[in-house]
Amino acid sequence: MQNNQPSQRNHLRAMLHALPKIDIHRHMEGSLRLATLAEIAHEHGLDIENYDVESLRPLVQMVDDEPNFQTFLAKFTLLRKFYNSRESVMRIAYEAVADCAHDNVKYLELRFNPVAQAYHQGFSFEDVADWVIAAVKQAEAEFDIIVRLIVQLGRHEPQFARQLAELAVAHKDDGVVALDLAGDEEHYSAAKFVDVLRWAKLQGLHITAHAGECRNCPAENIIEAVEVLHADRIGHGVQAISNPQAIALLRERHITLEMCPTSNIQTAAVERITRHPLLEYHRQGIPVTINTDDPSVSNITLTDEYLVAIRDIGISFDDLKMMILNAAQAAFLPPAERAALVAQFRRELAGIQYP
């Protein structure tokens, strides 16, 4: 029996890879290919001791690190150094979409923080947005994938919030659909972003917010994100499980959770993968979705996350298909486009059965 386990796992992985997928919580800054980083570091002489992939890996990936939220976030300090030219920004954006397409992701919402690509390099936020949009449109044209963009606001950088919100609104016709509040939730509150996010929503943008993401990020932050920030979706929301009021609010308002199991383990939000609340939320009627968060930092694909969900968290194949449909129904698209996406995935998933 043991001899069959690797082949069974490989069969399951192949089947999950072939599934049409949706990722609505993926950061461009956490989606960089290590080989590309090595090339950029070598070409531009970045201040890094070694330029090869394996030397870079522990600097930008969670490899042998103890699970910790701040350790996870620290990887992005170095990653900001690689956006050192127009070509680098466009290449990284293009490859992020291409990698999704290779994993059979059919609909992607890719979030990016113009501050990460611009501020330390002397670029304007407007130029960075133009480069990202152009690269994403090129990738869309070359691969079988639909991509929408989300502009991310960093909790530790409120001074840029209004400028980024205005930038996002200005690019609504270029595929920018939402604002995301993200970053160090442990040390920075959402208070300074309330007016900006409410203004952006009045301009027609959707709002998503990381809340209840880490062990020390209370469930009250989730309640605040829904009731004060008027968030349409919640990034992670792991800590809702500890607060009946948060659970009830998510269920009653039908707020979709963008969950990322491997990331939640690496940030120590969840102690063990078998205790991840994904399945419990699903059973309680909260619309949950499975996403990658930062695939290069976590060294995963969305196929890997689906495998973890089935093998380690215990969701069924039918549960997985429902969670993919949840993502389609929560897509930040106009109603007619969202309905078409849901119909497409309902049709395609109906024809796929677990053997």
Positions annotated as catalytic residues are 213
Q: Is 295 helix (H, G, I), strand (E, B) or coil?
A: helix
Report residue 27 as tokens.
Answer: 């950061």
The closest alpha carbon to 211, from 200, 195, 225, 232, belongs to: 225
120 contacts 81 by C-beta, under 8 angstroms: yes
Torsion from C-alpha of 37, 43, 44, 45, nearest 10 degrees: 90
* DSSP structural state of residue 19: S
Neighbouring residues of 58: CB distance < 8 A, sequence distance ≥ 6: 64, 65
Helix, strand, coil percentages (3-state) for the chain, rounded to 5, are 55, 15, 30
- For every residue of 129-194, DSSP letters joined together read HHHHHHHHHHHHHHTT-EEEEEEEEETT-GGGHHHHHHHHHHTGGGTEEEEEEES-TTT--SGGGH
Q: Is 123 helix (H, G, I), strand (E, B) or coil?
A: coil
Q: Is 214 helix (H, G, I), strand (E, B) or coil?
A: coil
Alpha carbon distance 118, 83 (integer Å) = 8
Alpha carbon distance 64, 115 (integer Å) = 29
140 contacts 114 by C-beta, under 8 angstroms: no
